[in-house]
A and B are shown apart, each in its own frame.
Chain A
Amino acid sequence: MPRYMIQVRATPMSEAGEFPDDPTLVARMMAFHEELAHAGVLLDCSGLMPSSQGFRVRYSAQGEPTVIDGPFAETKELIAGYTLIEVRSRDEALAWARRFPAPFPGQACDIEVRPLFGGMTDASPEEAARELREQLGQIRGER
Protein backbone atom coordinates (compact mmCIF):
# COMPACT_ATOMS: atom_id res chain seq x y z
CA MET A 1 0.00 0.00 0.00
CA PRO A 2 1.40 3.42 -0.88
CA ARG A 3 3.05 5.41 1.89
CA TYR A 4 3.20 9.17 2.01
CA MET A 5 5.18 11.47 4.23
CA ILE A 6 3.49 14.70 5.21
CA GLN A 7 6.35 17.05 5.97
CA VAL A 8 5.83 20.20 7.97
CA ARG A 9 8.24 22.80 6.65
CA ALA A 10 10.13 24.89 9.16
CA THR A 11 9.48 28.60 9.74
CA PRO A 12 11.68 31.23 11.40
CA MET A 13 9.59 30.65 14.51
CA SER A 14 10.08 26.89 14.59
CA GLU A 15 13.78 27.36 13.92
CA ALA A 16 13.95 29.79 16.86
CA GLY A 17 12.50 27.04 19.03
CA GLU A 18 9.33 29.02 19.73
CA PHE A 19 5.88 27.55 19.85
CA PRO A 20 2.91 29.17 18.07
CA ASP A 21 0.77 31.22 20.42
CA ASP A 22 -2.40 29.20 19.89
CA PRO A 23 -3.74 27.29 22.89
CA THR A 24 -5.81 24.97 20.64
CA LEU A 25 -3.00 23.91 18.31
CA VAL A 26 -1.70 20.94 20.26
CA ALA A 27 -5.22 19.65 20.87
CA ARG A 28 -6.11 20.00 17.19
CA MET A 29 -2.88 18.33 16.07
CA MET A 30 -3.48 15.46 18.46
CA ALA A 31 -7.10 15.11 17.40
CA PHE A 32 -6.07 14.97 13.76
CA HIS A 33 -3.46 12.29 14.41
CA GLU A 34 -5.93 10.36 16.51
CA GLU A 35 -8.31 10.51 13.58
CA LEU A 36 -5.55 9.11 11.34
CA ALA A 37 -4.95 6.31 13.83
CA HIS A 38 -8.64 5.49 14.04
CA ALA A 39 -8.86 5.36 10.27
CA GLY A 40 -6.03 2.82 10.32
CA VAL A 41 -3.66 4.93 8.21
CA LEU A 42 -1.13 6.39 10.68
CA LEU A 43 2.27 4.67 10.70
CA ASP A 44 4.44 7.16 12.52
CA CYS A 45 4.70 10.84 13.35
CA SER A 46 6.94 13.22 15.21
CA GLY A 47 7.99 16.81 15.48
CA LEU A 48 11.66 17.58 14.84
CA MET A 49 13.82 19.80 16.99
CA PRO A 50 15.19 22.98 15.38
CA SER A 51 18.13 22.52 13.03
CA SER A 52 20.36 24.18 15.67
CA GLN A 53 20.21 20.81 17.45
CA GLY A 54 21.22 18.83 14.39
CA PHE A 55 24.18 18.45 12.10
CA ARG A 56 24.94 17.62 8.52
CA VAL A 57 27.53 15.44 6.94
CA ARG A 58 28.52 16.98 3.65
CA TYR A 59 30.21 14.83 1.03
CA SER A 60 32.63 16.12 -1.50
CA ALA A 61 32.37 14.81 -5.03
CA GLN A 62 35.08 12.36 -4.03
CA GLY A 63 32.94 11.10 -1.13
CA GLU A 64 34.98 12.83 1.60
CA PRO A 65 32.68 13.61 4.57
CA THR A 66 32.72 16.88 6.51
CA VAL A 67 30.49 17.40 9.54
CA ILE A 68 28.69 20.76 9.75
CA ASP A 69 26.74 21.70 12.88
CA GLY A 70 23.35 23.43 12.63
CA PRO A 71 21.55 25.77 12.55
CA PHE A 72 21.09 25.99 8.81
CA ALA A 73 20.00 29.07 6.95
CA GLU A 74 17.59 27.85 4.29
CA THR A 75 14.65 27.75 6.74
CA LYS A 76 11.93 26.98 4.21
CA GLU A 77 13.77 23.90 3.02
CA LEU A 78 14.07 22.48 6.52
CA ILE A 79 11.61 20.07 8.04
CA ALA A 80 9.97 20.72 11.40
CA GLY A 81 7.94 17.53 11.64
CA TYR A 82 6.54 14.61 9.72
CA THR A 83 3.54 12.30 9.62
CA LEU A 84 3.91 8.99 7.84
CA ILE A 85 0.68 7.51 6.49
CA GLU A 86 -0.22 4.38 4.55
CA VAL A 87 -3.19 4.94 2.26
CA ARG A 88 -4.87 3.43 -0.77
CA SER A 89 -4.15 6.19 -3.24
CA ARG A 90 -2.67 9.60 -3.91
CA ASP A 91 -6.20 10.98 -3.76
CA GLU A 92 -6.61 9.63 -0.27
CA ALA A 93 -3.29 11.12 0.78
CA LEU A 94 -4.49 14.46 -0.61
CA ALA A 95 -7.82 14.17 1.20
CA TRP A 96 -5.97 13.64 4.49
CA ALA A 97 -3.40 16.35 3.82
CA ARG A 98 -6.18 18.87 3.26
CA ARG A 99 -7.35 18.18 6.80
CA PHE A 100 -3.93 18.64 8.34
CA PRO A 101 -4.23 21.55 10.82
CA ALA A 102 -2.21 24.61 9.77
CA PRO A 103 0.92 23.93 11.81
CA PHE A 104 1.87 27.56 12.51
CA PRO A 105 -1.34 29.54 12.95
CA GLY A 106 -0.90 33.22 12.22
CA GLN A 107 1.96 32.63 9.77
CA ALA A 108 2.13 31.51 6.19
CA CYS A 109 3.65 28.03 6.13
CA ASP A 110 3.84 24.89 4.01
CA ILE A 111 3.30 21.23 4.44
CA GLU A 112 4.71 19.07 1.68
CA VAL A 113 3.49 15.58 0.88
CA ARG A 114 5.81 13.09 -0.79
CA PRO A 115 5.26 9.45 -1.75
CA LEU A 116 7.81 6.94 -0.49
CA PHE A 117 9.50 4.57 -2.86
CA GLY A 118 7.90 1.20 -2.34
CA GLY A 119 9.17 -2.33 -1.90
CA MET A 120 12.90 -1.77 -1.57
CA THR A 121 13.39 -2.54 2.07
CA ASP A 122 16.99 -3.62 2.14
CA ALA A 123 16.71 -5.64 -1.04
CA SER A 124 19.90 -6.94 -2.56
CA PRO A 125 21.86 -3.96 -3.86
CA GLU A 126 21.35 -4.93 -7.51
CA GLU A 127 17.63 -5.46 -7.04
CA ALA A 128 17.15 -2.26 -5.05
CA ALA A 129 18.93 -0.32 -7.76
CA ARG A 130 16.83 -1.97 -10.43
CA GLU A 131 13.56 -1.26 -8.60
CA LEU A 132 14.58 2.31 -7.93
CA ARG A 133 15.37 2.88 -11.59
CA GLU A 134 12.09 1.25 -12.57
CA GLN A 135 10.06 3.47 -10.28
CA LEU A 136 11.89 6.57 -11.42
CA GLY A 137 11.41 5.49 -15.03
CA GLN A 138 7.68 5.26 -14.43
CA ILE A 139 7.67 8.79 -13.05
CA ARG A 140 9.56 10.13 -16.08
CA GLY A 141 7.21 8.20 -18.35
CA GLU A 142 4.19 9.83 -16.73
CA ARG A 143 5.35 13.32 -17.54
Chain B
Amino acid sequence: MSLPAAAEAHRAIQAVWQLEAPALVGALMRLTHDLALAEDCAQDALLAALERWPQDGLPRNPAAWLMTTAKHRALDRLRHGQVTVREQAALGLDADARHDAVAPDPLALMLADEAAPLRDEVLPLLFIACHPLLSREAQWALTLRLVGGLSVAEIARACFAQEATVAARITRAKKTLAGQPYGLPPAAERQQRLANVCTVLYLMFNEGYAAHSGPDWTRPTLCHEALRLTRMLAALCPTDSEVLALQALMELQASRLPARADAQGRPVLLMDQDRRRWDPLLRQRGLQALARAEGLAQGNPGPLLVQALLAACHARALRAEDTDWARILQLYDALLEAQPSPVVALNRAVALSQAQGPAAALPEVDRLAQALHGYPWWASARAELCTKLDRPHEALAALDLAIAWTHNEAERALLQARRAGVESRLGPAPC
Protein backbone atom coordinates (compact mmCIF):
# COMPACT_ATOMS: atom_id res chain seq x y z
CA MET B 1 0.00 0.00 0.00
CA SER B 2 1.35 3.42 -0.88
CA LEU B 3 2.06 5.83 1.94
CA PRO B 4 -0.85 8.20 1.36
CA ALA B 5 -3.20 5.22 0.92
CA ALA B 6 -1.92 3.72 4.17
CA ALA B 7 -2.39 7.00 5.98
CA GLU B 8 -5.91 7.24 4.63
CA ALA B 9 -6.68 3.69 5.74
CA HIS B 10 -5.34 4.49 9.21
CA ARG B 11 -7.53 7.56 9.48
CA ALA B 12 -10.56 5.58 8.40
CA ILE B 13 -9.85 2.88 10.99
CA GLN B 14 -9.32 5.48 13.68
CA ALA B 15 -12.68 7.03 12.83
CA VAL B 16 -14.42 3.67 13.18
CA TRP B 17 -12.65 3.07 16.47
CA GLN B 18 -13.56 6.54 17.73
CA LEU B 19 -17.23 5.77 17.26
CA GLU B 20 -16.85 2.58 19.26
CA ALA B 21 -14.46 3.87 21.92
CA PRO B 22 -17.10 4.63 24.58
CA ALA B 23 -18.77 1.25 24.04
CA LEU B 24 -15.40 -0.52 24.34
CA VAL B 25 -14.24 1.31 27.44
CA GLY B 26 -17.69 1.08 28.99
CA ALA B 27 -18.01 -2.68 28.51
CA LEU B 28 -14.50 -3.31 29.83
CA MET B 29 -15.19 -1.05 32.80
CA ARG B 30 -18.30 -3.02 33.66
CA LEU B 31 -16.33 -6.24 33.50
CA THR B 32 -13.11 -5.20 35.20
CA HIS B 33 -13.94 -2.04 37.15
CA ASP B 34 -10.46 -0.91 36.19
CA LEU B 35 -10.34 2.30 34.20
CA ALA B 36 -6.65 2.09 33.25
CA LEU B 37 -7.05 -1.49 32.09
CA ALA B 38 -10.25 -0.72 30.21
CA GLU B 39 -8.66 2.16 28.36
CA ASP B 40 -5.43 0.32 27.58
CA CYS B 41 -7.38 -2.59 26.12
CA ALA B 42 -9.55 -0.30 24.01
CA GLN B 43 -6.28 1.15 22.69
CA ASP B 44 -4.93 -2.36 22.09
CA ALA B 45 -7.98 -3.07 19.95
CA LEU B 46 -7.23 0.03 17.87
CA LEU B 47 -3.62 -1.08 17.37
CA ALA B 48 -4.79 -4.55 16.39
CA ALA B 49 -7.24 -3.08 13.89
CA LEU B 50 -4.54 -0.84 12.41
CA GLU B 51 -2.41 -3.96 11.97
CA ARG B 52 -5.04 -6.39 10.68
CA TRP B 53 -7.60 -4.41 8.72
CA PRO B 54 -5.34 -3.00 6.02
CA GLN B 55 -4.29 -6.62 5.23
CA ASP B 56 -7.54 -8.51 5.84
CA GLY B 57 -9.97 -5.79 4.83
CA LEU B 58 -12.68 -4.25 6.95
CA PRO B 59 -14.45 -6.94 9.02
CA ARG B 60 -18.16 -7.49 8.38
CA ASN B 61 -18.98 -6.09 11.79
CA PRO B 62 -16.14 -3.76 12.84
CA ALA B 63 -17.79 -2.92 16.17
CA ALA B 64 -18.04 -6.57 17.21
CA TRP B 65 -14.49 -7.22 16.02
CA LEU B 66 -13.13 -4.39 18.14
CA MET B 67 -15.14 -5.50 21.18
CA THR B 68 -13.99 -9.13 20.99
CA THR B 69 -10.39 -8.07 20.48
CA ALA B 70 -10.51 -5.64 23.41
CA LYS B 71 -11.99 -8.30 25.68
CA HIS B 72 -9.35 -10.83 24.69
CA ARG B 73 -6.65 -8.31 25.46
CA ALA B 74 -8.18 -7.62 28.84
CA LEU B 75 -8.13 -11.31 29.63
CA ASP B 76 -4.56 -11.69 28.43
CA ARG B 77 -3.50 -8.87 30.68
CA LEU B 78 -5.38 -10.23 33.67
CA ARG B 79 -4.09 -13.74 33.11
CA HIS B 80 -0.49 -12.89 32.46
CA GLY B 81 -0.25 -10.88 35.58
CA GLN B 82 0.29 -7.59 33.85
CA VAL B 83 -2.28 -6.54 36.35
CA THR B 84 -1.20 -8.37 39.47
CA VAL B 85 -3.47 -9.14 42.36
CA ARG B 86 -1.63 -6.52 44.35
CA GLU B 87 -2.17 -3.92 41.65
CA GLN B 88 -5.80 -4.87 41.49
CA ALA B 89 -6.01 -4.33 45.21
CA ALA B 90 -4.25 -1.00 44.81
CA LEU B 91 -6.73 -0.13 42.11
CA GLY B 92 -9.46 -0.76 44.62
CA LEU B 93 -10.91 -4.00 43.33
CA ASP B 94 -12.34 -5.88 46.25
CA ALA B 95 -12.07 -9.65 46.51
CA ASP B 96 -15.43 -10.21 44.85
CA ALA B 97 -14.69 -8.00 41.90
CA ARG B 98 -11.32 -9.69 41.51
CA HIS B 99 -13.00 -13.03 41.59
CA ASP B 100 -15.40 -11.90 38.90
CA ALA B 101 -12.65 -10.56 36.72
CA VAL B 102 -10.58 -13.76 36.86
CA ALA B 103 -13.29 -16.32 37.40
CA PRO B 104 -12.50 -19.99 36.56
CA ASP B 105 -13.50 -19.48 32.96
CA PRO B 106 -13.11 -15.79 32.51
CA LEU B 107 -13.03 -15.98 28.72
CA ALA B 108 -16.48 -17.55 28.59
CA LEU B 109 -17.70 -15.04 31.13
CA MET B 110 -16.42 -12.07 29.23
CA LEU B 111 -17.45 -13.16 25.79
CA ALA B 112 -20.86 -14.14 27.07
CA ASP B 113 -21.35 -10.56 28.20
CA GLU B 114 -23.81 -9.26 25.64
CA ALA B 115 -22.47 -6.17 24.00
CA ALA B 116 -24.66 -3.45 25.42
CA PRO B 117 -25.76 -0.78 22.97
CA LEU B 118 -23.61 2.30 23.04
CA ARG B 119 -26.32 4.33 24.74
CA ASP B 120 -26.15 2.11 27.82
CA GLU B 121 -22.43 2.61 28.16
CA VAL B 122 -22.29 6.37 27.77
CA LEU B 123 -24.05 7.51 30.93
CA PRO B 124 -21.91 5.54 33.42
CA LEU B 125 -18.80 6.76 31.58
CA LEU B 126 -19.97 10.37 31.79
CA PHE B 127 -20.67 9.93 35.48
CA ILE B 128 -17.20 8.55 36.22
CA ALA B 129 -15.40 11.05 33.96
CA CYS B 130 -17.22 14.01 35.54
CA HIS B 131 -16.71 12.66 39.04
CA PRO B 132 -16.76 15.43 41.66
CA LEU B 133 -13.44 14.18 43.08
CA LEU B 134 -11.63 15.36 39.94
CA SER B 135 -10.41 18.83 39.03
CA ARG B 136 -12.25 20.59 36.23
CA GLU B 137 -9.35 20.09 33.81
CA ALA B 138 -9.19 16.40 34.67
CA GLN B 139 -12.95 16.08 34.17
CA TRP B 140 -12.65 17.62 30.70
CA ALA B 141 -9.66 15.52 29.72
CA LEU B 142 -11.22 12.28 30.90
CA THR B 143 -14.60 13.06 29.32
CA LEU B 144 -13.01 13.89 25.98
CA ARG B 145 -10.84 10.78 26.22
CA LEU B 146 -13.41 8.22 27.38
CA VAL B 147 -16.62 9.46 25.80
CA GLY B 148 -15.30 11.57 22.93
CA GLY B 149 -12.61 9.08 21.97
CA LEU B 150 -10.12 11.92 21.42
CA SER B 151 -6.39 11.25 21.54
CA VAL B 152 -4.20 12.96 24.12
CA ALA B 153 -2.75 15.13 21.36
CA GLU B 154 -6.23 16.18 20.23
CA ILE B 155 -7.27 16.99 23.80
CA ALA B 156 -4.10 19.02 24.32
CA ARG B 157 -4.81 21.04 21.17
CA ALA B 158 -8.46 21.53 22.15
CA CYS B 159 -7.59 22.70 25.67
CA PHE B 160 -4.50 24.71 24.72
CA ALA B 161 -2.36 22.57 27.03
CA GLN B 162 0.83 20.54 26.70
CA GLU B 163 0.41 16.90 25.72
CA ALA B 164 2.47 15.76 28.70
CA THR B 165 0.28 17.80 31.03
CA VAL B 166 -2.88 16.26 29.63
CA ALA B 167 -1.42 12.74 29.80
CA ALA B 168 -0.39 13.29 33.42
CA ARG B 169 -3.84 14.67 34.24
CA ILE B 170 -5.50 11.57 32.83
CA THR B 171 -3.16 9.22 34.68
CA ARG B 172 -3.72 11.06 37.94
CA ALA B 173 -7.46 11.08 37.39
CA LYS B 174 -7.50 7.32 36.88
CA LYS B 175 -5.61 6.88 40.16
CA THR B 176 -8.01 9.18 41.96
CA LEU B 177 -10.96 7.22 40.63
CA ALA B 178 -9.59 3.77 41.54
CA GLY B 179 -12.06 2.13 43.86
CA GLN B 180 -14.91 4.47 43.01
CA PRO B 181 -18.04 2.52 42.21
CA TYR B 182 -18.82 2.25 38.49
CA GLY B 183 -22.28 2.27 37.01
CA LEU B 184 -25.30 4.45 37.50
CA PRO B 185 -25.25 6.20 40.86
CA PRO B 186 -27.98 5.24 43.35
CA ALA B 187 -31.27 7.02 42.68
CA ALA B 188 -30.79 9.37 45.62
CA GLU B 189 -27.51 10.67 44.19
CA ARG B 190 -28.37 10.54 40.54
CA GLN B 191 -29.96 13.95 40.13
CA GLN B 192 -27.01 15.67 41.79
CA ARG B 193 -24.50 13.71 39.73
CA LEU B 194 -26.42 14.49 36.55
CA ALA B 195 -26.38 18.18 37.45
CA ASN B 196 -22.65 17.76 37.94
CA VAL B 197 -22.22 16.28 34.46
CA CYS B 198 -24.21 19.20 33.04
CA THR B 199 -21.95 21.68 34.81
CA VAL B 200 -18.80 20.00 33.49
CA LEU B 201 -20.13 20.05 29.93
CA TYR B 202 -21.35 23.62 30.26
CA LEU B 203 -17.99 24.86 31.51
CA MET B 204 -16.28 22.94 28.71
CA PHE B 205 -18.52 24.67 26.21
CA ASN B 206 -17.93 28.07 27.78
CA GLU B 207 -14.17 27.68 27.72
CA GLY B 208 -14.49 26.83 24.04
CA TYR B 209 -16.87 29.73 23.46
CA ALA B 210 -14.75 32.40 25.13
CA ALA B 211 -11.33 31.01 25.90
CA HIS B 212 -9.91 32.32 29.18
CA SER B 213 -6.35 32.37 27.95
CA GLY B 214 -4.28 31.92 24.86
CA PRO B 215 -4.22 33.60 21.47
CA ASP B 216 -7.65 32.60 20.20
CA TRP B 217 -11.02 34.02 21.06
CA THR B 218 -12.78 30.69 20.70
CA ARG B 219 -11.72 27.04 20.84
CA PRO B 220 -14.19 25.52 18.43
CA THR B 221 -13.18 21.91 19.11
CA LEU B 222 -14.08 22.26 22.77
CA CYS B 223 -17.43 23.85 21.85
CA HIS B 224 -18.25 21.18 19.33
CA GLU B 225 -17.29 18.31 21.58
CA ALA B 226 -19.29 19.76 24.48
CA LEU B 227 -22.29 20.21 22.18
CA ARG B 228 -21.97 16.71 20.80
CA LEU B 229 -21.66 15.19 24.28
CA THR B 230 -24.65 17.22 25.44
CA ARG B 231 -26.67 16.02 22.47
CA MET B 232 -25.73 12.48 23.53
CA LEU B 233 -26.81 13.24 27.08
CA ALA B 234 -30.09 14.75 25.88
CA ALA B 235 -30.82 11.64 23.82
CA LEU B 236 -30.21 9.56 26.96
CA CYS B 237 -32.25 11.75 29.33
CA PRO B 238 -35.09 12.99 27.11
CA THR B 239 -37.33 13.77 30.09
CA ASP B 240 -34.86 15.82 32.13
CA SER B 241 -35.70 19.49 31.81
CA GLU B 242 -32.26 20.74 32.81
CA VAL B 243 -30.43 18.42 30.39
CA LEU B 244 -32.63 19.59 27.52
CA ALA B 245 -32.20 23.17 28.68
CA LEU B 246 -28.43 22.70 28.52
CA GLN B 247 -28.75 21.37 25.00
CA ALA B 248 -30.95 24.34 24.06
CA LEU B 249 -28.49 26.77 25.61
CA MET B 250 -25.54 25.29 23.71
CA GLU B 251 -27.38 25.02 20.37
CA LEU B 252 -28.43 28.66 20.67
CA GLN B 253 -24.98 29.87 21.65
CA ALA B 254 -23.31 27.72 19.00
CA SER B 255 -25.69 29.22 16.42
CA ARG B 256 -23.86 32.51 17.01
CA LEU B 257 -20.37 31.07 16.49
CA PRO B 258 -20.21 32.08 12.80
CA ALA B 259 -20.81 35.71 13.81
CA ARG B 260 -18.57 35.84 16.87
CA ALA B 261 -15.43 36.71 14.95
CA ASP B 262 -14.86 38.91 11.94
CA ALA B 263 -12.98 37.92 8.80
CA GLN B 264 -9.68 38.66 10.59
CA GLY B 265 -10.63 36.46 13.55
CA ARG B 266 -11.25 39.45 15.83
CA PRO B 267 -14.01 39.06 18.42
CA VAL B 268 -17.42 40.59 17.68
CA LEU B 269 -19.63 41.15 20.73
CA LEU B 270 -23.23 39.99 20.81
CA MET B 271 -24.85 43.37 20.20
CA ASP B 272 -22.54 44.11 17.26
CA GLN B 273 -22.93 40.75 15.52
CA ASP B 274 -24.35 40.42 12.04
CA ARG B 275 -27.35 38.33 13.03
CA ARG B 276 -27.89 37.14 9.49
CA ARG B 277 -24.81 35.02 10.06
CA TRP B 278 -26.35 33.10 12.93
CA ASP B 279 -26.83 29.47 12.01
CA PRO B 280 -30.58 29.00 11.42
CA LEU B 281 -30.54 25.23 11.88
CA LEU B 282 -28.84 25.39 15.28
CA ARG B 283 -31.09 28.27 16.31
CA GLN B 284 -34.14 26.23 15.41
CA ARG B 285 -32.82 23.13 17.18
CA GLY B 286 -32.11 25.25 20.24
CA LEU B 287 -35.59 26.72 20.33
CA GLN B 288 -37.12 23.26 19.90
CA ALA B 289 -35.08 21.79 22.75
CA LEU B 290 -36.02 24.82 24.83
CA ALA B 291 -39.73 24.26 24.22
CA ARG B 292 -39.36 20.65 25.39
CA ALA B 293 -37.35 21.70 28.46
CA GLU B 294 -39.95 24.31 29.35
CA GLY B 295 -42.76 21.79 29.03
CA LEU B 296 -40.96 19.38 31.33
CA ALA B 297 -40.16 22.02 33.94
CA GLN B 298 -43.87 22.55 34.63
CA GLY B 299 -43.46 26.15 35.66
CA ASN B 300 -40.51 25.40 37.93
CA PRO B 301 -37.46 26.25 35.80
CA GLY B 302 -34.01 25.18 36.94
CA PRO B 303 -30.97 27.47 36.53
CA LEU B 304 -29.99 26.04 33.14
CA LEU B 305 -33.49 26.57 31.81
CA VAL B 306 -33.39 30.20 32.90
CA GLN B 307 -30.09 30.62 31.08
CA ALA B 308 -31.50 28.95 27.98
CA LEU B 309 -34.50 31.29 28.12
CA LEU B 310 -32.05 34.18 28.30
CA ALA B 311 -30.16 32.92 25.26
CA ALA B 312 -33.50 32.55 23.45
CA CYS B 313 -34.32 36.23 24.07
CA HIS B 314 -31.29 37.09 21.95
CA ALA B 315 -31.95 34.34 19.41
CA ARG B 316 -35.47 35.64 18.85
CA ALA B 317 -34.38 39.23 18.26
CA LEU B 318 -33.60 39.41 14.57
CA ARG B 319 -32.13 42.87 15.06
CA ALA B 320 -30.13 43.86 18.15
CA GLU B 321 -32.53 46.74 18.81
CA ASP B 322 -35.46 44.30 18.96
CA THR B 323 -34.04 42.61 22.07
CA ASP B 324 -36.61 42.28 24.85
CA TRP B 325 -34.47 43.72 27.68
CA ALA B 326 -37.34 43.88 30.16
CA ARG B 327 -37.79 40.10 29.82
CA ILE B 328 -34.03 39.58 30.08
CA LEU B 329 -33.92 41.65 33.26
CA GLN B 330 -36.75 39.58 34.68
CA LEU B 331 -34.90 36.34 33.86
CA TYR B 332 -31.69 37.61 35.44
CA ASP B 333 -33.64 38.42 38.58
CA ALA B 334 -34.85 34.80 38.63
CA LEU B 335 -31.35 33.49 37.96
CA LEU B 336 -29.83 35.69 40.64
CA GLU B 337 -32.32 34.32 43.12
CA ALA B 338 -31.61 30.69 42.16
CA GLN B 339 -27.85 31.07 41.75
CA PRO B 340 -26.57 34.22 43.39
CA SER B 341 -23.13 35.06 41.97
CA PRO B 342 -21.30 38.30 41.19
CA VAL B 343 -21.01 37.36 37.50
CA VAL B 344 -24.77 36.86 37.21
CA ALA B 345 -25.25 40.16 39.07
CA LEU B 346 -22.95 41.86 36.54
CA ASN B 347 -24.93 40.46 33.63
CA ARG B 348 -28.11 41.63 35.30
CA ALA B 349 -26.62 45.12 35.59
CA VAL B 350 -25.80 45.11 31.87
CA ALA B 351 -29.41 44.15 31.12
CA LEU B 352 -30.55 46.89 33.49
CA SER B 353 -28.50 49.42 31.57
CA GLN B 354 -30.22 48.34 28.34
CA ALA B 355 -33.67 48.34 29.91
CA GLN B 356 -33.45 51.49 32.04
CA GLY B 357 -30.32 53.30 30.98
CA PRO B 358 -26.66 53.40 32.06
CA ALA B 359 -27.26 55.72 35.04
CA ALA B 360 -29.39 53.06 36.73
CA ALA B 361 -26.82 50.36 36.10
CA LEU B 362 -23.58 52.07 37.14
CA PRO B 363 -24.20 51.88 40.91
CA GLU B 364 -25.03 48.17 40.51
CA VAL B 365 -21.78 47.58 38.69
CA ASP B 366 -19.79 49.57 41.21
CA ARG B 367 -21.26 47.51 44.02
CA LEU B 368 -19.52 44.49 42.46
CA ALA B 369 -16.06 46.11 42.28
CA GLN B 370 -14.66 44.11 45.19
CA ALA B 371 -16.24 40.80 44.29
CA LEU B 372 -15.14 40.99 40.65
CA HIS B 373 -11.68 42.44 41.13
CA GLY B 374 -9.52 40.90 38.39
CA TYR B 375 -12.49 39.96 36.17
CA PRO B 376 -11.93 41.74 32.83
CA TRP B 377 -15.61 41.80 31.87
CA TRP B 378 -16.47 43.77 35.00
CA ALA B 379 -14.04 46.51 33.99
CA SER B 380 -15.22 46.29 30.41
CA ALA B 381 -18.86 46.70 31.47
CA ARG B 382 -17.97 49.69 33.67
CA ALA B 383 -16.10 51.26 30.75
CA GLU B 384 -19.12 50.81 28.53
CA LEU B 385 -21.42 52.52 31.04
CA CYS B 386 -18.97 55.39 31.63
CA THR B 387 -18.65 55.91 27.89
CA LYS B 388 -22.42 56.11 27.53
CA LEU B 389 -22.59 58.50 30.49
CA ASP B 390 -19.95 60.68 28.83
CA ARG B 391 -17.33 60.05 31.50
CA PRO B 392 -14.45 59.16 29.15
CA HIS B 393 -11.65 59.43 31.69
CA GLU B 394 -13.29 56.86 33.93
CA ALA B 395 -13.98 54.73 30.87
CA LEU B 396 -10.28 54.80 29.95
CA ALA B 397 -9.25 53.84 33.47
CA ALA B 398 -11.68 50.92 33.44
CA LEU B 399 -10.44 49.77 30.02
CA ASP B 400 -6.87 49.88 31.30
CA LEU B 401 -7.91 47.55 34.10
CA ALA B 402 -9.67 45.21 31.68
CA ILE B 403 -6.61 45.14 29.41
CA ALA B 404 -4.39 44.34 32.37
CA TRP B 405 -6.71 41.62 33.64
CA THR B 406 -7.45 39.66 30.49
CA HIS B 407 -5.40 36.58 29.63
CA ASN B 408 -6.83 36.20 26.15
CA GLU B 409 -4.98 37.89 23.34
CA ALA B 410 -7.94 38.34 21.00
CA GLU B 411 -9.91 39.85 23.86
CA ARG B 412 -7.05 42.20 24.66
CA ALA B 413 -6.93 43.42 21.07
CA LEU B 414 -10.67 44.12 21.20
CA LEU B 415 -10.29 46.09 24.43
CA GLN B 416 -7.37 48.05 23.03
CA ALA B 417 -9.40 48.97 19.98
CA ARG B 418 -12.19 50.20 22.24
CA ARG B 419 -9.69 52.18 24.30
CA ALA B 420 -8.36 53.85 21.17
CA GLY B 421 -11.92 54.72 20.19
CA VAL B 422 -12.67 56.41 23.51
CA GLU B 423 -9.34 58.22 23.49
CA SER B 424 -9.84 59.57 19.98
CA ARG B 425 -13.07 61.24 21.08
CA LEU B 426 -11.23 63.03 23.89
CA GLY B 427 -9.53 65.29 21.39
CA PRO B 428 -5.88 66.29 21.57
CA ALA B 429 -4.32 65.71 24.96
CA PRO B 430 -3.48 68.91 26.84
CA CYS B 431 0.26 69.52 26.89
Chain A residues near B (Cβ < 8 Å): 1, 35, 37-41, 43-44, 86, 88-89, 91-92, 94-96, 98, 119, 121-124, 127
Q: B236: which of A38, A41, A95, A122 is its contact (CB, 8 Å)?
A: A38
Shortest Cβ gap from B17 to chain A (Å): 9
How far, in angstroms, from A39 to B229 measured CA to CA in the complex? 8
Shortest Cβ gap from B1 to chain A (Å): 17
B195 at the interface (CB under 8 A from A): no
| CB neighbours of B54 from chain A (8 A) | none
Contact yes or no, B119 A38, CB < 8 A: yes
How far, in angstroms, from A127 to B276 measured CA to CA in the complex? 12
| CB neighbours of B58 from chain A (8 A) | 98
Q: Is the interface of A mostly helix, strand, loop or mixed?
A: mixed
Contact yes or no, A38 B276, CB < 8 A: no
Contact yes or no, B285 A43, CB < 8 A: yes
Contact yes or no, B281 A123, CB < 8 A: no
Given A44-B281, A94-B12, A95-B12, A39:B236 Cβ within 8 A: no
Report 13 cross-chain contacts, Cβ distance below 8 Å, ordered by A residue: A1-B224, A37-B231, A37-B235, A38-B118, A38-B236, A39-B118, A43-B285, A86-B228, A92-B19, A95-B19, A98-B58, A122-B280, A123-B274
B270 at the interface (CB under 8 A from A): no
Shortest Cβ gap from A82 to chain B (Å): 13
Chain B: interface residue count, which band?
20 to 34
Contact yes or no, B277 A38, CB < 8 A: no
15 other contacts beyond A119-B258, A122-B278, A122-B280, with CB at 8 A cut-off? A35-B118, A38-B119, A38-B235, A39-B118, A41-B231, A86-B228, A91-B15, A94-B12, A95-B18, A95-B19, A96-B19, A98-B58, A121-B277, A121-B280, A127-B263
Shortest Cβ gap from A64 to chain B (Å): 29
Shortest Cβ gap from B156 to chain A (Å): 16
Shortest Cβ gap from A97 to chain B (Å): 11
B134 at the interface (CB under 8 A from A): no
How far, in angstroms, from A40 to B227 measured CA to CA in the complex? 8
Q: B15: which of A38, A94, A121 is its contact (CB, 8 Å)?
A: A94
Contact yes or no, A92 B235, CB < 8 A: no
Given A35-B118, A40-B229, A91:B277 Cβ within 8 A: no
B11 at the interface (CB under 8 A from A): yes
Contact yes or no, A91 B232, CB < 8 A: no
Contact yes or no, A92 B236, CB < 8 A: no
How far, in angstroms, from A15 to B95 measured CA to CA in the complex? 63
Contact yes or no, A122 B224, CB < 8 A: no
Chain B residues near A (Cβ < 8 Å): 11-12, 14-16, 18-19, 58, 117-119, 122, 220, 224, 227-232, 235-236, 258, 263, 274, 276-281, 285
Contact yes or no, B12 A123, CB < 8 A: no
Contact yes or no, A124 B232, CB < 8 A: no
How far, in angstroms, from A107 to B18 measured CA to CA in the complex? 32
Contact yes or no, A92 B277, CB < 8 A: no
Q: B276: which of A86, A89, A91, A123 is its contact (CB, 8 Å)?
A: A123
Shortest Cβ gap from B135 to chain A (Å): 25
Given A40-B231, A94-B12, A122-B276, A88:B263 Cβ within 8 A: no
Contact yes or no, A124 B276, CB < 8 A: yes
Contact yes or no, B19 A122, CB < 8 A: no
Given A38-B118, A43-B285, A44-B281, A95:B235 Cβ within 8 A: no
| CB neighbours of A96 from chain B (8 A) | 19
How far, in angstroms, from A30 to B16 measured CA to CA in the complex? 21
How far, in angstroms, from A124 to B275 measured CA to CA in the complex? 10
| CB neighbours of B230 from chain A (8 A) | 40
| CB neighbours of A124 from chain B (8 A) | 274, 276
Shortest Cβ gap from A100 to chain B (Å): 13
Shortest Cβ gap from B431 to chain A (Å): 44
| CB neighbours of B280 from chain A (8 A) | 121-122
